[in-house]
Amino acid sequence: MVALNMAAGYTIKHRDEFEAMEGSGDTTWKLARKALGTSAFGFNLVEIAPGGQIPEHDESESGQVELYVILEGEAILRIDGEDHPAPAGTFASIEPPASRTILNRSDAGVTAMLIGVAPTEDYEPLSWA
């Protein structure tokens, strides 16, 4: 399902086409940004096995704001040590200094999209957004 039209400026791929990288904590990272060649911001999918979690971290050094979107499963978002239930459909915007992780304490897999961008002073949200 690869659609690539560099002249028109787009790439379309299914997540099954993304390179997979095994991570710590029973996770598999699907390298979405790399597969699509996006350079304006970072994003990847992470599949978290039952009992697994992504590494707890903050983005103080990078200055990135992260958006976590739970696409499938029943996750727990731990932000600054506080646990928040996060079923599929949950969005969380997390500022750089907050520590964060996604935990899977369920019996089924969790799939999340993680998006990170370093904000600039030039960004102006649309008036309706």
Q: How many C-beta neighbours within 10 Å does residue 119 have?
A: 11
Prediction pTM value:
0.90
- For residue 26, give the DSSP letter: T
Report the DSSP beta bridge partners of residue 37.
Answer: none
Residues 40-84 pLDDT 10s:
899 999 999 999 999 999 999 999 999 999 999 999 999 999 999
Report CA-CA distances (Å) from 46 to 61, 89, 102: 22, 15, 10
Q: What is the pLDDT of residue 2?
A: 59
pLDDT band at 127 (very low <50, low <70, confident <90, very high): confident
Task: Report the Cα–Cα distance between both ends of the chain, in Å, rounded.
Answer: 32
74: helix, strand or coil: strand
- 78 vs 125, more confident: 78
Rounded CA gap, 32 and 4, in Å?
15
User: In order of start, what are the domains of the chain with their CATH numbers?
Assistant: 10-117 (2.60.120.10)
Rounded CA gap, 58 and 60, in Å?
6
Cα angle at 17 between 90 and 52, to 5 degrees?
45
* Phi/psi of residue 16, nearest 5 degrees: -70, -15
Rounded CA gap, 27 and 29, in Å?
6
Q: What is the pLDDT of residue 4?
A: 60
| The pLDDT of residue 90 is above 70 | yes
Residues 9-36 pLDDT 10s:
889 999 999 999 999 999 999 999 999 9
